[in-house]
Amino acid sequence: MKIAIIGAGFGGMAAAFDLCKAGHQVTIFESSDSVGGLAAGFKEPHWDSYVEKFYHHWFQSDRSILGLIRDLGWEDQVIFHRPYTVLLYNGRWYPFDSILKALEFPGLGYGLDKIRFGFIGLYLRATNNWKNLEKHTADAWMRRWAGANVYEKMWRPLLIGKFGPYYADVNMAWMWARLKARSTRLGTFEGGFQRFADKFALRLRAMGVEIRLQARVKFIKQSGDRGLLVDAGEIDSYDRVLVTTSPNLLAKMAPDLPVNYLQGLLDLKSMGAVVMVMSLKRQLSEQGYYWFNLPKDEGYPFLALVEHTNFVAPEKFGGDHIVYAGDYLEQGHEYFSLSDEELMQRFTPAFKKFNPAFSPDWVKKFWVFKTSYAQPVPLVDHSRNIPAIATPIQGLYFASMSQVYPWDRGTNFAVEIGRRAAALMLA
Ligand SMILES: Cc1cc2nc3c(=O)[nH]c(=O)nc-3n(C[C@H](O)[C@H](O)[C@H](O)COP(=O)(O)OP(=O)(O)OC[C@H]3O[C@@H](n4cnc5c(N)ncnc54)[C@H](O)[C@@H]3O)c2cc1C
101 band by pLDDT with thresholds 50, 70 and 90: confident
**Ligand 1 lined by 56 (C-beta under 6 Å):** yes
Among candidate residues 157, 181, 205, the one where a domain is terminated: 181
Q: From atom 5 of ligand 1, which residue's Cα is the shortest distance away?
A: 56
Q: What is the pLDDT of residues 309-368, one digit of tens each?
A: 999 999 999 999 999 999 999 989 999 999 999 999 999 999 999 999 999 999 999 999
**Ligand 1 lined by 414 (C-beta under 6 Å):** yes
Q: From atom 37 of ligand 1, which residue's Cα is the shortest distance away?
A: 245
Atom of ligand 1 nearest to the CA of 400: 26
Q: Are 285 and 294 a contacting pair, CB within 8 Å?
A: no
Assess whether 107 and 161 both reside in one domain.
yes
116 band by pLDDT with thresholds 50, 70 and 90: confident
**What separation in Å is there between the alpha carbon of 32 and the centre of ligand 1?**
12
Assess whether 18 and 50 both reside in one domain.
yes
Assess whether 221 and 197 both reside in one domain.
yes
Using CA atoms, how far apart are residues 119 and 145, in angstroms rounded to an integer? 10
Using CA atoms, how far apart are residues 299 and 292, in angstroms rounded to an integer? 14
**Ligand 1 lined by 244 (C-beta under 6 Å):** yes
Selection from 29-33, 95-99, 100-104, 122-126 with the highest mean pLDDT: 29-33
Assess whether 288 and 316 both reside in one domain.
yes
Atom of ligand 1 nearest to the CA of 12: 25
What's 228's domain CATH number?
3.50.50.60
Assess whether 45 and 133 both reside in one domain.
no
Pairing of strands 186-189, 78-81: antiparallel
**Ligand 1 lined by 38 (C-beta under 6 Å):** yes
Assess whether 275 and 357 both reside in one domain.
yes
- Which range of residues forms the domain containing residue 290? 270-376
* Selection from 209, 199, 205, 213 nearest residue 7 by Cα: 213
**Ligand 1 lined by 324 (C-beta under 6 Å):** no
Using CA atoms, how far apart are residues 253 and 78, in angstroms rounded to an integer? 36
333 by Cβ neighbours in 10 Å (0-12 / 13-18 / 19+) ranks as: middle
**Ligand 1 lined by 29 (C-beta under 6 Å):** yes
Residue 324 neighbours by CB under 8 Å, 6+ apart: 54, 55, 275, 276, 277, 278, 304, 305, 306, 307, 308
**Ligand 1 lined by 217 (C-beta under 6 Å):** yes
97 pLDDT more than 80? no
**Ligand 1 lined by 249 (C-beta under 6 Å):** yes
Assess whether 235 and 284 both reside in one domain.
no
CA distances from 406 to 127, 132, 175, 315, 379 (A): 13, 12, 10, 38, 11
Return the amino acid letter for 350.
Answer: A
Average the pLDDT over 248-256 and give the result: 97
261 belongs to a structural domain: yes
Among candidate residues 146, 181, 216, the one where a domain is terminated: 181
- Residue 342 CA, chain-centre distance (Å), reads 25
**Ligand 1 lined by 402 (C-beta under 6 Å):** no
52 belongs to a structural domain: yes
First-to-final CA distance of the chain: 12
**What separation in Å is there between the alpha carbon of 375 and the centre of ligand 1?**
10
Number of domains in the chain: 3
**What separation in Å is there between the alpha carbon of 38 and the centre of ligand 1?**
3
Q: What is the pLDDT of residues 14-30, one digit of tens each?
A: 999 999 999 999 999 99
Among candidate residues 159, 181, 203, the one where a domain is terminated: 181
Assess whether 125 and 169 both reside in one domain.
yes
84 belongs to a structural domain: no
100 band by pLDDT with thresholds 50, 70 and 90: confident
Q: What is the pLDDT of residues 75-86, one digit of tens each?
A: 999 999 999 889
31 belongs to a structural domain: yes
65 belongs to a structural domain: no
What's 355's domain CATH number?
3.90.660.20
271 band by pLDDT with thresholds 50, 70 and 90: very high
Q: From atom 27 of ligand 1, which residue's Cα is the shortest distance away?
A: 9
264 band by pLDDT with thresholds 50, 70 and 90: very high
98 pLDDT more than 80? no
**What separation in Å is there between the alpha carbon of 213 and the centre of ligand 1?**
15
Beta bridge partners of 187: 58, 80
Atom of ligand 1 nearest to the CA of 411: 11
Helix pair 411-426, 10-21: axis angle to 10 deg = 30
Q: Are 293 and 86 a contacting pair, CB within 8 Å?
A: yes
Residue 356: per-residue pLDDT: 94
Residue 225: per-residue pLDDT: 77
9 pLDDT more than 80? yes
Average the pLDDT over 183-204 and give the result: 96
72 belongs to a structural domain: no
281 belongs to a structural domain: yes
**Ligand 1 lined by 374 (C-beta under 6 Å):** yes
Q: From atom 52 of ligand 1, which residue's Cα is the shortest distance away?
A: 374
* HEC string for the chain: CEEEEECCCHHHHHHHHHHHHCCCEEEEECCCCCCCHHHCEECCCCCCCCEECCCCCEECCCHHHHHHHHHHCCHHHEEEECCEEEEEECCEEEECCCHHHHHCCHHHCCCHHHHHHHHHHHHHHHCCCHHHHCCCEHHHHHHHHCCHHHHHHHHHHHHHHHHHHHHHHCEHHHHHHHHHCCCCCEEEECCCHHHHHHHHHHHHHHHCCEEECCCCCCEEEECHHHCEEEECCCEEEECEEEECCCHHHHHHHCCCCCHHHHHHHHHCEEEEEEEEEEEECCCCCCCCEEEEECCHHHCCCCCEEEEHHHCCCHHHHCCCEEEEEEEEECCCCHHHCCCHHHHHHHHHHHHHHCCCCCCHHHEEEEEEEEEEEEEEECCCCHHHHCCCCECCCCCEEECCHHHCCCCCCCHHHHHHHHHHHHHHHHC
Assess whether 368 and 384 both reside in one domain.
no
Residue 347: per-residue pLDDT: 95
Q: From atom 38 of ligand 1, which residue's Cα is the shortest distance away?
A: 245
392 band by pLDDT with thresholds 50, 70 and 90: very high
Beta bridge partners of 51: 42
**What separation in Å is there between the alpha carbon of 20 and the centre of ligand 1?**
22
**What separation in Å is there between the alpha carbon of 112 and the centre of ligand 1?**
42
Assess whether 134 and 172 both reside in one domain.
yes
**Ligand 1 lined by 216 (C-beta under 6 Å):** yes
User: What is the Cα Rg of the chain in Å?
Assistant: 22
244 band by pLDDT with thresholds 50, 70 and 90: very high
260 band by pLDDT with thresholds 50, 70 and 90: very high
297 band by pLDDT with thresholds 50, 70 and 90: confident
63 belongs to a structural domain: no
State what percent of residues in the chain have pLDDT above 70: 100
**Ligand 1 lined by 269 (C-beta under 6 Å):** no
Assess whether 204 and 174 both reside in one domain.
no
Assess whether 296 and 327 both reside in one domain.
yes
89 band by pLDDT with thresholds 50, 70 and 90: confident
226 pLDDT more than 80? no
